[in-house]
């Protein structure tokens, strides 16, 4: 297997296509990325009551997130400690206990082994039930309603992991004291793509919008997006920015405060909401975030596999199923204090644009699948692909964290994504993974350094 240092060339923005198809590289990703990073599990709003549970994945491991009787949250590997059967097969629900389908062992909400059939007759009361509790996810932490889990004891805290990305995340998650919630069922779609391709697509690829989605944009667009035109015939770089260099997390932002709702056939209700609440949000988040970030078209990425688009309001996580396959899960994210009518409209619009039959998503699936299959050949496997747009043209913007490139059409964020990927793949332990928040607001101005990947 090639070394991670040979797979990504940061100076040219090149990646070896093997990273999308090689089984060995994929297995190393399960260990060094999905086995090490903080991964999104669920939103607190999805399990509001004691006994509420939600089933998800961390890498390929099945995980169960459960609201406890004392309202705390626990997460366990969703696998029976007897013979390993999957314990819960429902997507979500509410229960008092979980009985395994195979031999009937039953577990409590807190993971304790509550009942073993024939305990006296066949185990002679000698089984130590404490030893067979469900295996907990090693670490669990929430950030503004988002529950994350991590398998690595040595990982930094979730706050450190998110780093200065929190400054941008807050514009979406903390514009109001009540925060956000996820609504709708989990929309699950199988895509025959390597997991990195949808992530790079959403984290930074504004380039494909005007071309891939030309038909969908023509059908749904009601407003402007950064002077952006259908068919990739024009773009205004001043209207947006690509922000990266935040521990592998990134943001793509238009800066007009309204374009998040540009792809609503009728955005009147949303625009009214933005109008009515703008002053409050500016008071809470400050002028820049309140006027230019909140309400704008934003692409937020938390490394490695959580992405959401405030405005279009979809919220998504990718679960890898081998090097060439993922399950893509999508919900709608809304601010809790939005009027019900607007929430309903947002859920409807998420499904119109990004659900399984979404007008935009229907364009991306085949491209991602083909980029994956075009890395499997004997010859293509040796070839590179490039994210070399506008290399070296990023820098600092006063008052904003991150290394920033102009416009939402850039490959700046993708390069930082692959740089983070490489850093993790090279590191044997967390202590070898560099932490960086470029141009941090916490650092004095003269100490800031701009690094270009």
Output the six-digit token pair for 418.
């692959």
- 85 touching ligand FES, by CB under 6 A: yes
- 393 touching ligand FES, by CB under 6 A: no
Q: Which does 344 bind (CB under 5 to 8 A by kind): ligand FES, another protein, Fe ion, none?
A: another protein
Binding to Fe ion in span 352-371, by CB under 5 A: 364
- 83 touching ligand FES, by CB under 6 A: yes
Name the nearest CA neighbour of 85 among 67, 66, 107, 68.
107
Output the six-digit token pair for 378.
């004997």
Binding to another protein in span 363-382, by CB under 8 A: 363, 365-370
Q: Considering 52, 205, 256, 403, which one is annotated as catalytic?
A: 205
Residue with tokens 């990739």: 232
- 273 touching ligand FES, by CB under 6 A: no
Q: Which does 83 bind (CB under 5 to 8 A by kind): ligand FES, Fe ion, another protein, none?
A: ligand FES
String of DSSP letters for 166-219 = HHHHHHHH-SSTT-EEEEEEEEEEEE-S-THHHHHHHHHB-TTHHHHTHHHHHH
Q: Considering 62, 208, 236, 348, which one is annotated as catalytic?
A: 208
- 115 touching ligand FES, by CB under 6 A: no
Binding to another protein in span 222-241, by CB under 8 A: 230-231
Query: Which is it for the CA torsion 306, 312, 314, 318, positive or negative?
Result: negative
- CB 213 to Fe ion: min, Å: 6
Sole binder of another protein in the list 4, 111, 184, 402 (CB under 8 A): 184
String marking each residue 313-352 x if it binds another protein according to CB under 8 A:
--------------x----x-------x--xx--xx-xxx
Cα distance between residue 439 and residue 356, in whole Å: 39
Query: Would you tell me the crossing angle of helices 412-426 and 196-204 to the nearest 10 degrees?
Result: 140
How, if at all, do strands 298-302 and 400-406 pair?
unpaired
Sole binder of another protein in the list 187, 226, 299, 305 (CB under 8 A): 187
Binding to ligand FES in span 125-154, by CB under 6 A: none
The answer to whether 340 is a known catalytic residue is no
- 200 touching Fe ion, by CB under 5 A: no
Cα distance between residue 350 and residue 331, in whole Å: 8
- Judged by CB under 6 A, how many residues of this single chain contact ligand FES? 9
The answer to whether 213 is a known catalytic residue is yes
Q: Is the peptide bond before 304 cis (omega within 30 degrees of 0)?
A: yes
Binding to another protein in span 89-128, by CB under 8 A: 89-95
Count of beta carbons in the 10 Å neighbourhood of residue 11 = 10
Cα distance between residue 186 and residue 233, in whole Å: 36
- Site residues (CB under 6 A) for ligand FES? 80, 82-83, 85, 100, 102-105
């Amino acid at each position: 297997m090639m070394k991670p240092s040979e797979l990504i060339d940061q100076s040219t923005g090149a990646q070896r296509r093997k990273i999308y198809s090689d089984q060995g590289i994929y297995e190393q990703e399960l260990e060094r990325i999905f086995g090490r990073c903080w991964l999104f599990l669920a939103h607190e709003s999805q399990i509001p009551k004691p006994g509420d549970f939600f089933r998800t994945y961390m890498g390929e491991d099945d995980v169960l997130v459960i609201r406890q009787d004392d309202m705390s949250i626990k997460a366990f590997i969703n696998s029976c400690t007897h013979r390993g059967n999957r314990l819960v097969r429902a997507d979500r629900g509410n229960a008092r206990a979980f009985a395994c389908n195979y031999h009937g062992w039953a577990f409590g909400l807190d993971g304790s082994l509550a009942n073993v059939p024939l305990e006296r007759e066949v185990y002679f009361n000698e089984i130590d039930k404490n030893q067979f509790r469900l295996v907990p996810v090693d670490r669990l932490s929430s950030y503004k309603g988002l529950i994350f889990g991590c398998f690595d004891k040595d990982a930094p805290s979730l706050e450190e992991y998110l780093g200065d990305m929190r400054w941008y995340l807050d514009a979406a998650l903390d514009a109001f004291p009540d925060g956000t919630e996820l609504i709708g069922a989990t929309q699950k779609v199988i895509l025959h793509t390597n997991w990195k391709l949808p992530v790079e697509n959403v984290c930074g690829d504004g380039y494909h919008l005007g071309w891939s989605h030309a038909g969908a944009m023509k059908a749904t667009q009601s407003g402007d997006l950064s002077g952006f035109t259908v068919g990739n015939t024009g773009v205004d770089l001043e209207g947006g920015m690509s922000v990266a260099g935040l521990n592998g997390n990134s943001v793509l932002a238009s800066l007009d405060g309204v374009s998040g709702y540009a792809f609503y056939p009728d955005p009147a209700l949303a625009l009214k909401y933005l109008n009515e609440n703008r002053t409050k949000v500016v008071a809470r988040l400050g002028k820049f975030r309140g006027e230019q970030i909140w309400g704008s078209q934003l692409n937020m990425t938390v490394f490695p596999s959580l992405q959401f688009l405030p405005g279009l309001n979809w919220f998504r996580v990718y679960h890898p199923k081998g090097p060439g396959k993922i399950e893509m899960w999508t919900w709608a994210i809304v601010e809790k204090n939005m009027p019900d009518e607007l929430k309903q409209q947002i859920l409807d619009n998420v499904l119109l644009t990004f659900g399984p039959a979404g007008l935009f998503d229907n364009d991306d699936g085949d491209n991602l699948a083909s980029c994956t299959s075009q890395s499997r050949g004997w010859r293509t496997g040796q070839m590179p692909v490039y994210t070399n747009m506008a290399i070296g043209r990023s820098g600092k913007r006063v008052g904003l964290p991150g290394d920033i490139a102009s416009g939402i059409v850039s490959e700046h964020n993708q390069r930082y994504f692959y740089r983070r990927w490489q850093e993790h793949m090279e590191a044997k332990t967390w202590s070898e993974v560099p932490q960086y928040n470029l141009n941090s607001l916490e650092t004095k101005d003269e100490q800031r350094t701009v690094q270009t990947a």
